[in-house]
Structure 1
């Protein structure tokens, strides 16, 4: 299903933007990115293919958007690698092979969809908000499970084991905020957003992370939703907030 969604996004992008002159360069950038991501074990083989589609769409629209994606990848890779032994003890470590296609699409498909469509008002800002949420949510879960400290369920504030769906901590929330700010700052430096828009991007990213935690506590923890769908809904909430503000 994830690869089918990736193929659909690629078809949409080529249908609307296939005449762009920068596509050969975008393809070259994507190839290097995909290979490096796989060698670094940031993604599995299927995750590499799905990520390549998103990277191609972003690079094809504006190479600066790809740079933001690269920052997200580096942030999430570093957060995932940090404290791996403790995460293994808690049984929350990502597989050695890297994130799968379904995980990649859950976090990045909305950003790809927004930029695969024809230009519309605030399109880039919505995509950047989606990327900020992806970085924020990953940093929250990966960093929060490493540092020892109190973790509470976001819905009732009862203490839970680090790594529990819907659990939040001071360290995880701080990491999430810094990750969203890093994406927003990169967007501002590259000229993709004004200062006020960058603040909106960061705020939407953190908001989406919190929504992800609420949904995780209410539904994923009880087995009603899987993690990929929760991540997708969290990203959608960030984009929704950005759309209301933009």
Structure 2
């Protein structure tokens, strides 16, 4: 008997394999996020006091509630999103200023841009079978797009940069911020390029031939330019919010664009072949963007 495949146009991965990959990715990200959130709570209660995390915790809970009210994510997606939001704020906040000088601000920009993009001509996308479910993004989709950005600025990211890039302070600090911003910008670019390209880009290209919208790895000029513009907006906002230098922000932007094209490459190859699902492809693309940004900071030394 042949395996059942996803019914979305252009998807070839068996549904059971896609589901298993998404479940494993969600479990791994959830455990890692719980660990990093726990570590910052231990630091807070042991040294800095609860006030250290009270602000990030309140904002993370409020943000999750708003997302759930807008039906932009399922309950599981909102719970995982709260962990991500808490990590992003707690590990990047500027202690001499308000909480807007943290990764919260580019995260909000990402949410608003992608939320608007998914709702442009939604009825048309629904008729074509390309629209997101009305209950919003699942936990696996949230993990695939945002977990790298949240984890890369914690002690996990510091360990990664120390082990593989051997970056001394302050380069390790700038590398983590640039990596976080690059991952957020790539996730924004990926969603916008897909959502805008499906309704304004006509039939996209896969190699040198036209294919139906929604085909893995297919791109359109309109969608790609919209995605790059979205990455530029998030990077520009992150530049201000994270108090970055122009060079660091530029590295983050180009790393995000690299991640966007890497996502296209994976879609046209391993995803189209049915080896990897969309969630794992998105996760790997944000990871490549983050690592590229860190490597770029290393070259600036």
Give the TM-score, by structure 2 length.
Answer: 0.77
Output aligned runs, 1:132-143, within 5 Å.
132-143=185-196
Per chain length, whose mean CA-contact separation is higher, i.e. which structure has more relative contact order (CA < 8 Å, sep 6+)? 2
* Structure 2: runs of 5+ lacking an equivalent: 1-23, 45-50, 94-98, 159-171
State the partner residue of 2:278: 227
1:243, CA displacement in angstroms? 1.6
Q: CA 1:89/1:148 → structure 2, altered by over 3 Å: closer, same or farther?
A: farther
Contact map agreement 1:34 1:52 (CA 8 A) in 2? yes
Of residues 25, 28, 37, the one that matches 1:13 is: 37
In 2, Cα distance between equivalents of 1:17 and 1:220? 38
How big is each residue's C-alpha offset from its partner over 1:164-211, in whole Å with a ceiling of 9 and x where there is no partner?
110110111111111100111101222432222222212111111111
In 1, Cα distance between equivalents of 2:242 and 2:139? 30
1:147, CA displacement in angstroms? 0.8
Of residues 86, 107, 112, the one that matches 1:69 is: 107
Alignment root-mean-square deviation, CA: 1.7
State whether structure 2 residue 177 is matched by structure 1 residue 147. Answer: no
State whether structure 2 residue 138 is matched by structure 1 residue 100. Answer: yes
State whether structure 2 residue 94 is matched by structure 1 residue 43. Answer: no
State the partner residue of 1:110: 148
In 2, Cα distance between equivalents of 1:170 and 1:148? 7
State whether structure 2 residue 162 is matched by structure 1 residue 124. Answer: no
How big is each residue's C-alpha offset from its partner over 1:145-178, in whole Å with a ceiling of 9 and x where there is no partner?
011434101xx23111112110110111111111
In 1, Cα distance between equivalents of 2:284 and 2:77? 19
State the partner residue of 1:238: 289
In 2, Cα distance between equivalents of 1:157 and 1:74? 34
Give the TM-score, by structure 1 length.
Answer: 0.93
Contact map agreement 1:147 1:171 (CA 8 A) in 2? yes
How big is each residue's C-alpha offset from its partner over 1:13-37, in whole Å with a ceiling of 9 and x where there is no partner?
3225632342111111011100001
* Structure 1: runs of 5+ lacking an equivalent: none
In 1, Cα distance between equivalents of 2:228 and 2:115? 17
State whether structure 2 residue 89 is matched by structure 1 residue 59. Answer: yes
In 1, Cα distance between equivalents of 2:294 and 2:90? 23
Contact map agreement 1:16 1:116 (CA 8 A) in 2? no
Structure 1 window deviating more from structure 2 (141-150 vs 232-241): it is 141-150
Q: CA 1:16/1:163 → structure 2, altered by over 3 Å: closer, same or farther?
A: same
1:115, CA displacement in angstroms? 2.0
In 2, Cα distance between equivalents of 1:218 and 1:89? 27
In 2, Cα distance between equivalents of 1:192 and 1:182? 15
In 1, Cα distance between equivalents of 2:198 and 2:33? 33
SS in 1 for 2:219: strand
1:116, CA displacement in angstroms? 2.5
**Which structure has the larger Rg over C-alpha atoms?**
2
State the partner residue of 2:118: 80
